[in-house]
Amino acid sequence: MGLTALLTVAAIVLFLLFPARYAESVREGISLWAANVLPVTLPLLFLTALLSRQEVFFRLANALSAPAGALFGISGGGALCVLLSAISGYPVGARTTGDLVRAGAVSEEELFRVSVLATTSGPAFLVGAVGLGMLSSPALGWLLYLAHLGGVFLVALFLKKGKRPPSLMPRPEKRAFPALITDSVLSVLTVGGAIALFYVFGEMLSDLCILFSVPTWVSVTLRGLAEMTTGCALLAQDVTPLSLAGQAFFVTFGGMCVLVQQLTFLGGTGLNVKRWLLVKFLQALAAGGIALLLALLFAQR
């Protein structure tokens, strides 16, 4: 039996043995989504989709074309995907990238480079949820945000650049206003479903770790790799330079929950998933290293 099949069977058995416990975990995951993700993500998904149909979007894309092409080998349209991701977070970046690829505004040749750049967290999560909410320090949230973006951009600088992407961004087809609302609602429901599922999977991993007396650091790592918000919360219980590095790693790699969300929005684009996962892992290592250095410098002040 393969590893995926084995884990699936184990999850089914645990859910059937303890349905009340894990049903409550699903409710907690949904509550986490409803309280912290839905209020921010739904408006941003809709507004960014609406913005991408406006004239100013195309003018800005064309203005960014030259510097984006020189640095990362991406077009102005790809640069806007990166900018929206850095401001608004994972779902917006991945969804905008997928939309523009399917509309022909981001070329297939530049898709990979855009996809590893436009799949980032935003300041609302790192500064608000992690910095202010978990660490009681917005300054540490900004430290994590800078380390996160630094790791993402640093690794992307070394990716092989192909032929120069088109300098001017073509307009995607017009879409009716109600269709944009429908797409945004379905997208945010996808995010909520992923959070609820991987939240309960994280609970199952934690229970198995307790059952087999697995070291705490292994349990925290597994939970963070399943659902990165939970991993960040666990690391926030003891704030050290190393724990901040771990949070930067979790947020940059994303964990299975965020990775599934991103790949859902990037589906049908022809993305090389294995290579994409490898680069995301390298970006996470780089972000963790940057966060560790910044935290050590911060601690000396």
At 119-161, the pLDDT tens digits run 999 998 999 889 999 999 999 999 999 999 999 999 999 987 7
Predicted confidence at residue 33, as pLDDT, reads: 87
Give the model's pLDDT for residue 32.
84
Sign of CA dihedral 134, 256, 124, 292: positive
Question: Which range of residues forms the domain containing residue 160?
Answer: 3-300
Residue 117 near residue 86, CB atoms below 8 Å? no
DSSP assignment string, 213-271: T--HHHHHHHHHHH-HHHHHHHHTTS--HHHHHHHHHHHHH-HHHHHHHHHHHTTTS--
The per-residue pLDDT for range 32-49, each reduced to its tens digit, is 888 878 888 889 889 888
Report yes or no: 7 and 53 within 8 Å, Cβ to Cβ: no
Q: What's the count of helices (H) and strands (E) in the chain, helices before strands?
A: 15, 0
| Number of structural domains the chain divides into | 1
What single-letter DSSP state applies at residue 198? H
φ/ψ of residue 283, rounded to 5: -65, -40
Cβ(281)–Cβ(253) below 8 Å:
yes
Entry pTM: 0.89
With bands split at pLDDT 50, 70 and 90, how would you rate the model's confidence at 240? very high
Distance CA 257, CA 201 (A): 10
Q: What token pair was written down for 4?
A: 């995926």
